[in-house]
Amino acid sequence: MAPKETLIVDCDTGIDDALALLYLLRDPGVDIRAVTSVFGNTDVETAADNTLRVLELAGRTDIPVAIGARSNWRGSTHPAPHVHGGNGLGEVGLPAASAKPVREPAAELIVRLARENPGELHLLAVGPLTNLATALLLEPGLPGLVKHVTIMGGAVHHPGNVTPAAEANIHNDPEAARMVLAAGWDVTLVPLDVTMTEVITEELAGRLRAEGSSCAGFAAGILTHYLDFYEREVFGERGAACHDPLAAAIAVGDVDAELAPTVVVDVETGDGPGRGATIADTRGKYRGFPGVEGARVRVVLKTDGTFPQRLTERLCGPSGAGSRNVA
């Protein structure tokens, strides 16, 4: 049976990246060909190590992990230990992985796999877009080799989460994001407008905690730190946004968008207060979003709000149900 989606996952593995990976790994219809790490929530080496540990938890040491960009194109990073903990996983420890990262750099791996599998690969990017932009520099024809790109990032009508204007993944490397969003491939952008409305609650985390499996227990453990952060600094109550897991679910067709116009999107790369803002032309909402020449970015602006339950059910499922992989 052909997979419903063949993915390369590009991530800066913190708490929500780990949840997204586990969500995908528990779906036997999803074929993850590789995971590439990038700086962001934590440094790139820790992100790769966290990825390997999560893959080991899921019994998938066969999936290669490649290390990518250590900083943005200006040479800076903006890690978020206050959000994801010092180890990127909410201070929850997983055993050291038996596998090691491959020697091939992330951007080179993306280009090679795209050349070897033209038209098959779906790139799911849930961290800064430096690896994808670097891959475009290595292979300008990459958009013609890739099936689709789904990105968790940006804020259209919603406030940013690192500045009033900017979301973290885009703000971490605006120049790279601008290049990726302007490339000639079809993109689905999953911004804060929807990820902040899909909220996993303390009740759902409690279900994971009570389920008892290693996968659900790990998810509940990292969510404790995440819920603490969101209660303290965002919502004032115990609920956490499903950023990266929602993007993963949209990428593989598990969540339908209720509103997702295809529009032109640009990124502010100046040094003022708007740096990293995603500028999307949504004026068409007054006339039903007619086709706009050059528009390639499908921006998800509304989902139905029920994804956290789906995520919880997936992670609570028995190891043989919904996945051939997770122990």
pLDDT in tens, 176-233: 999 999 999 999 999 999 999 999 999 999 999 999 899 999 999 999 999 999 999 9
Helix (H, G, I), strand (E, B) or coil at 50: helix
Does 264 map to a domain? yes
What pLDDT shows up at residue 318?
60
E strand segments, 60-165: 65-67, 121-125, 148-152
The pLDDT assigned to 322 comes to 38
- What's the whole-number average pLDDT of the chain? 94
Give the span between the Cα atoms of 254 and 51, in whole angstroms.
Answer: 23
Count of structural domains, the chain:
1
CB atoms within 10 A of CB 103: 9
- pLDDT band with cut points at 50, 70 and 90 for residue 288: confident
Catalytic positions are 243
- The position carrying tokens 């993963």 is 248
Q: What is the DSSP letter of 279?
A: E
Which tokens belong to 296?
């390639």
Going from the C-alpha of 121 to that of each of 34, 110, 183, the distances in angstroms are 10, 9, 16
pTM of the model: 0.95
Is 326 among the domain residues?
no
The domain of 147 spans 5-316
- Residue-wise pLDDT for 152-180, tens only, equals 999 999 999 999 999 999 999 999 999 99
Residue at 322 is within a domain: no
Task: Lowest mean pLDDT of 40-54, 282-296, 306-320, name the range.
Answer: 282-296
pLDDT at 326 over 70: no
Q: Which residue has the tokens 């990124």?
A: 267
Residue 244 main-chain phi, psi, to 5 deg: -70, -40
Q: Is the pLDDT of residue 1 over 70?
A: no
Neighbours of 158 (CB within 10 A): 16
Residue 230 sits in a domain whose CATH number is: 3.90.245.10
Judge whether 324 lies within some domain.
no
